[in-house]
Structure 1
Amino acid sequence: MGAEEDDERGFFAEQPAPAPARRAGKQASPHYHGHRERLRRRFAEGGPDALADYEILELVLFRAIPRADTKAPAKALLKRFGTLGQALGAPEHLLREVPGVGAQAARDLKVVAAAAQRMLRSEVRGRQVLGSWSQVIDYCRAAMAFEPREQFRVLFLDKKNALIADEVQQVGTVDHTPVYPREVVRRALELSATALILVHNHPSGDPTPSRADIAMTRQVVESARPLGITVHDHIIIGKDGHASFRGLQLI
């Protein structure tokens, strides 16, 4: 077995603390050892609902921080970012700025976030999207709500409104993303898509459509309609909610 394979096997392995030097009398174990076992037992017996958000973060941090108390950095993550979702969605370089969270712990948190996104995407792919609307919203929120820059993505659907592809078309700045309606339609034709759902995020947190959002959406709708391509909706994702152009009667 090569060194690279050994590294992969050990990526998530919790490394044991080095054996303490022998001393006369009985030496007490660090206080966090019993705490870790209690948390693991509560999770095993009661599932995730038996733990607070910071305790879920502790479980993730156990493997990256094997020889220290993880309660303080877990609570510091929530204090810095606000919620469990925002902590997992935060950029890796910001996670590393939190006291007690090093490079390995930040990477582990991003792996958990990626796994959650993949799980949600698998629930959407191949299904009739319009019949799984809450799952679509959940997936888009997980993928985009906490991005520091605007992203414009398109969900391409077939004639049965099943998801063909989910692609990020553009990445912009904190408050603007350039969108080219002709490129959106061209890609839809390449994929033989007959319907689209447009999605972008507002890093400010407020999902209210701007005038530029409304104008761009109308341009995409007008470009797609003559080619038999329907724009079902344009969803704006914010940290605290979302806005639907269809629901707002803007489409």
Structure 2
Amino acid sequence: MAPNVRKTEFSDAAMLGFNLSQASVADPKRLQNRHRSNLRDRFIKGGVEAVNDIELLELILFRAIPNRDIRLLCQLLLKQFGSFNNVLAAAPSDLRKIKGIGIAVINELKIIRAAAHKMAQLDVIERDVISSWDQLIVYCRSSMAHLKQEQFRALFLDSKNVLITDECLQTGIVNHVPVYPRQVAKRALECDATAVILVHNHPSGDPEPSQSDIDVTHEIIDALGALKIAVHDHLIIGAAGDISFKARGLI
């Protein structure tokens, strides 16, 4: 065996169409380039269904890390953060703790996440969000489902239930965010909103509402009701799913 060929390259060579004698003299750089080319071709022909999560991460990071094999790094990212979505949502400070991760990798991951959120946003903006409810849930999940801190957002709507603006009003600690009904009411008036959808996330992943969630929702309903501004719903978003207060009969 040539000294510059590692044992693991035999499996790579077999996958790429080399026989064992050819593998013994295969250039590792050539194997890597062939792997990347084959993976790109498979993705272009078959789409996301043709690749697994590790391979999809590879495709995202090829440009950020052009000159070395990144399969083990992608495996490590998925193991460390638990899922493909969690990798994209991971804080830059947490990503930097992984050996081999630099600013180029972080930028690629954040660009992909921002693009996904933008696509989801375009499905709800300037539309009747009540009649586009599934798209609204996708939009909320894309921005909040994998956050590590609790965040409280308000979607302010006009008289046709078209989204005026989506704003984060408070960010809290891991399992609590302070919410002030007067702040929601003040911002609704500034936006000239006639209705609001409340949304917050549970970083634990479990979307079940707490008694505090229920109480503050009714306080906001009372505050906005005095201004004749409706609260259509309160959504709780978690990695494990989502809960609608209206569907639960909580409002």
| Corresponding residue for residue 244 of structure 2 | 244
Number of matched pairs: 227
**Where do 5+ consecutive residues of structure 1 fail to align?**
1-24
The structural deviation recorded for 1:111 is: 1.2
Indicate whether 1:219 and 2:219 are aligned.
yes
| Corresponding residue for residue 121 of structure 1 | 121
Give the alignment of 1:6-25 within 5 angstroms: none
Q: TM-score with structure 2 length normalisation? A: 0.87
Instruction: Quickly say closer, same or farther: Cα 1:127–1:26, change in 2 above 3 A.
Output: closer
| Corresponding residue for residue 202 of structure 2 | 202
Query: SS where residue 207 of structure 2 aligns?
Result: coil
Q: Is the 8 A contact 1:153 1:166 kept in 2?
A: yes
Give the alignment of 1:17-96 within 5 angstroms: 29-96=29-96
Instruction: Quickly say closer, same or farther: Cα 1:238–1:27, change in 2 above 3 A.
Output: closer
The structural deviation recorded for 1:103 is: 2.4
Per-residue CA shift, 1:164-192, capped at 9, x if unaligned?
Answer: 00000011111111111011011111111
Q: Is the 8 A contact 1:150 1:174 kept in 2?
A: yes
CA distance in 1, matches of 2:26, 2:213: 68
The structural deviation recorded for 1:32 is: 1.4
Query: SS where residue 125 of structure 1 aligns?
Result: coil
Instruction: Quickly say closer, same or farther: Cα 1:160–1:202, change in 2 above 3 A.
Output: same
| Corresponding residue for residue 165 of structure 2 | 165
Indicate whether 1:187 and 2:187 are aligned.
yes
Q: Is the 8 A contact 1:149 1:203 kept in 2?
A: yes
- Calculate percent identity across the aligned residue pairs: 49
CA RMSD of aligned residues (A): 1.5
Instruction: Quickly say closer, same or farther: Cα 1:194–1:51, change in 2 above 3 A.
Output: same
Q: TM-score with structure 1 length normalisation? A: 0.87
1:218 aligned partner, one-letter code: H
CA distance in 1, matches of 2:160, 2:250: 24
| Corresponding residue for residue 97 of structure 1 | 97
The structural deviation recorded for 1:98 is: 2.6
